[in-house]
């Protein structure tokens, strides 16, 4: 029989999470429901997932510029007139950004999108690496096996919601599975004196951070607001706020009310702790990000992704006061479902990504006087890649995609995995140039998890499909 106290606690926690800002402004691990076995961690490490929501087009992000590849790219993407989504290889306003990885791929040459100047510089200095053709897989799969459905395949391929969930939990939407980010910090629970701040999202509810014993904090904006109405004045009364606080926090004899009051007290205390521990914005804390410039319009403005990463940096700066040595963060940027107006929209999104990553890496150099660049690793994720062919003004849903890893512990200035051939009809083209992945999400994430401090046994617990792949560590991270 299940523990009734545990069941009530979980029910109330879920209820508060669903209530959102009208009841509780952020979701907390308000009740420490047991601890998991973990390796003894004495240092600090954090993983930061940047989710490119909608499915980023990798073919216009990392471009293959050797003559044969460029010929195919130009033929299939230069659809003519203003709807062409092919990027100019040399132009005063939009020249590609060549990169030279440490490990050459025979006969191939590469460049970043013109909007990615900062990321090109991070790559060249060794702080950024590319992981090629990553996607959801259950086991290594050939084109023939995919076409014949002779091996197990991820459920509901090419579906936004399902593939976002598979990326983050290994299961399709509605499966009620925990996220692998949460599973990591649960296994490392003994490293943290407080589990309340182990999983933090600045981009809404994240399935990556949905756990069994860990509850994610969801931060909206740049700060963690208190529960409304329990301090100051309420309805013009200086005593009403105190009365409300007493109502929601006073101990009760009814077991359900008793649990609710305990959760409210913990939430108030945790909010106060986080607010006082996080470094302030601006002078004396974490500097505000500069504006970025939209490469299409030339207009400067606030970069919302950089603002999210500022919040992450502020919390990392307060790590000691928060009692954490292992954290996973989730931030994101939407708009990558570029079925139309792709060239202009993606250029703007990639400019935001590049600007934000550079800002965050610089901020990590000195947080409370400590250089945290080697202790924090940022990585990108997305629903899927897109088709190589154009629909006239954009591209459609694909599968495999290239991703980026950034940090002082990253073996940067390199491309891990083989960049597939450009064009159509090759052995990784599953339709319209959509790529059959050659690196699984499990391999990508397991490499990050190993750096994070998980043992081989724990990696197998977090990623149940990892045993299907001969390579569990892709080698893009330096040893701890």
List per-residue pLDDT tens for the chain, 480 residues long: 334 333 444 444 443 333 333 333 333 333 333 333 333 445 999 999 999 999 999 999 999 999 999 999 999 998 655 568 999 875 444 589 999 999 999 999 999 999 999 999 999 999 999 999 999 999 999 999 999 999 999 999 999 999 999 999 988 776 677 999 999 999 999 999 888 899 999 999 999 999 999 889 988 877 776 788 888 888 888 898 888 888 889 888 888 988 888 777 877 877 777 888 899 998 889 999 999 999 999 999 999 999 999 999 999 999 999 999 999 999 999 999 999 999 999 999 999 999 999 999 999 999 888 999 999 999 999 999 999 999 989 999 999 999 999 999 999 999 999 999 999 999 999 999 999 999 999 999 999 999 999 999 999 999 999 999 999 999 999 986
Beta-carbon-side half-sphere exposure of residue 316 (alpha carbons within 13 Å)? 33
Q: Enumerate the H helices of 365-475 as residue ranges.
A: 441-452, 456-462
Place of tokens 């603002």: 307
Convert 348-372 to b/e letters by CB count within 10 Å (16 or more is b): bbbbbbbbbbbbbbebbeebeeeeb
For the beta carbon of residue 295, count every other beta carbon within 10 angstroms.
Answer: 19
Any residues with CB less than 8 A from the CB of 241 and at least 6 apart, and which?
229, 230, 231, 232, 233, 234
Structure confidence at residue 39 (pLDDT): 39
pLDDT at 232: 82
How far is it, in rounded angstroms, from Cα 340 to Cα 423? 21
φ, ψ (nearest 5 deg) of residue 20: 70, -155
Per-residue pLDDT at 334:
98
The helix/strand/coil state of 51 is strand
Which phi and psi (to 5°) does residue 416 adopt? -100, 130
pLDDT reported for residue 80: 55
CA–CA gap between residue 105 and residue 108 (Å, rounded): 6
What local confidence, expressed as pLDDT, does residue 224 receive? 73
pLDDT for the residue 83: 62
Distance from C-alpha of 281 to C-alpha of 283, rounded to nearest angstrom:
7
Q: What is the DSSP string of 349-374?
A: HHHHHHHHHHHHHHHHT-BTTB--TT
Q: Are 401 and 135 in contact (CB under 8 A)?
A: yes
Report in angstroms the alpha-carbon separations of 388 from 78, 152, 317: 11, 25, 42
Measured between alpha carbons, how far is 177 from 465 in angstroms, rounded to an integer?
14
Ranges of beta strands (E only) in 181-241 are 199-201, 217-218
Residues paired with residue 386 on neighbouring β-strands, in sequence order: 397
* 187: Cβ contacts below 8 Å, ≥ 6 apart: 36, 37, 38, 39, 454, 458, 461, 462
Count CA atoms closer than 13 A to 101's CA, side-chain side. 26
Radius of gyration of the chain (CA): 23
């Amino acid at each position: 029989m299940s523990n009734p106290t545990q069941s009530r606690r979980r029910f109330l926690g879920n209820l508060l999470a669903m209530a959102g800002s009208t009841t509780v402004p952020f979701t907390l691990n308000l009740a420490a429901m047991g601890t998991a076995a973990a390796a003894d961690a004495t240092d600090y490490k954090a993983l930061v997932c940047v989710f490119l929501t909608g499915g980023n087009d990798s073919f216009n992000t990392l471009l293959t510029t050797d003559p044969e590849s460029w010929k195919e790219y130009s033929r299939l993407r230069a659809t003519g007139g203003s709807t062409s989504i092919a990027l100019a290889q040399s132009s005063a306003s939009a020249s590609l950004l060549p990169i030279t990885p440490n490990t050459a791929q025979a006969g191939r040459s590469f460049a970043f999108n013109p909007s990615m100047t900062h990321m090109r510089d991070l790559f060249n200095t060794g702080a950024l690496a590319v992981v090629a053709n990553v996607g959801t897989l259950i086991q290594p799969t050939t084109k023939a096996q995919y076409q014949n459905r002779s091996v197990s395949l991820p459920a509901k391929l090419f579906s936004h919601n399902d593939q976002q969930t598979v990326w983050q939990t290994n299961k399709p939407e509605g499966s009620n599975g925990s996220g692998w980010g949460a599973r990591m910090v649960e296994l490392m629970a003994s490293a943290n004196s407080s589990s309340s701040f182990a999983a933090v999202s600045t981009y809404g509810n994240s399935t990556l951070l949905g756990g069994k014993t860990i509850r994610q904090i969801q931060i909206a904006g740049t700060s963690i607001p208190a529960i409304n109405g329990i301090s100051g004045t309420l309805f013009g009364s200086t005593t009403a706020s105190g009365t409300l606080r007493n109502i929601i926090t006073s101990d009760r004899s009814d077991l359900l009310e008793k649990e609710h009051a305990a959760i409210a007290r913990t939430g108030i205390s945790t909010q106060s702790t986080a607010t006082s521990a996080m470094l302030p914005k601006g002078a004396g804390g974490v500097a505000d990000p500069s504006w970025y410039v939209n490469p299409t319009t030339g207009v400067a403005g606030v970069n919302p992704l950089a603002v999210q990463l500022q919040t992450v940096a502020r919390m990392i700066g307060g790590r000691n006061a928060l009692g954490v040595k292992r954290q996973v963060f989730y931030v994101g940027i939407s708009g990558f479902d570029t079925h139309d107006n792709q060239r202009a929209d993606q250029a703007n999104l990639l400019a935001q990504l590049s600007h934000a990553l550079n800002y965050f890496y610089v901020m990590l150099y000195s947080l409370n006087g400590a250089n945290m660049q080697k202790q924090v690793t940022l990585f990108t994720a997305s629903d899927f890649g897109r088709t190589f062919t154009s629909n006239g003004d954009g591209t459609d849903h694909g599968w495999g995609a290239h991703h980026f890893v950034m940090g002082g512990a990253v073996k940067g200035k390199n491309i891990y995995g083989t960049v597939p051939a450009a064009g159509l009809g090759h052995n990784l083209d599953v339709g319209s140039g959509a790529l059959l992945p050659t690196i699984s999400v499990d391999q990508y994430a397991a490499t990050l998890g190993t750096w994070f401090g998980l043992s081989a046994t724990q990696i197998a617990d977090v990623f149940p499909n990892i045993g299907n792949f001969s390579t569990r560590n892709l080698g893009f991270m330096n040893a701890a």
